Amino acid sequence: MKDIRCQCGKIVCQVENIAATPRVETSPQPAPGPAAIILCRHCKRYVVLRFPTIASVACVADVRELA
């Protein structure tokens, strides 16, 4: 798993099994393409992750539920 960090340095999510690490946007200008937006619980900034493609999104209580 790879950690994705906010500008404040806190981990906002972890990614696994993707072709390329998502690009973290720091610009307020929207860019085309699939994105996931995460609110940093520490500093309250929005972290925008741009992916080449997004196949699915799942919300689970435990990562073992994905296996």
C-alpha 61/C-alpha 6 separation (Å) is: 22
What spatial distance separates the first Cα and last Cα of the chain, rounded to whole Å? 14
Please state whether the predicted TM-score (pTM) of the whole model is above 0.85: no
The tens place of each residue's pLDDT in the chain, 67 residues long, gives: 788 888 899 988 887 766 666 666 665 566 667 778 888 899 988 888 877 777 777 777 776 766 6
| β-sheet bridge partners, residue 35 | 50
pLDDT, position 42: 92
pLDDT of residue 59: 73
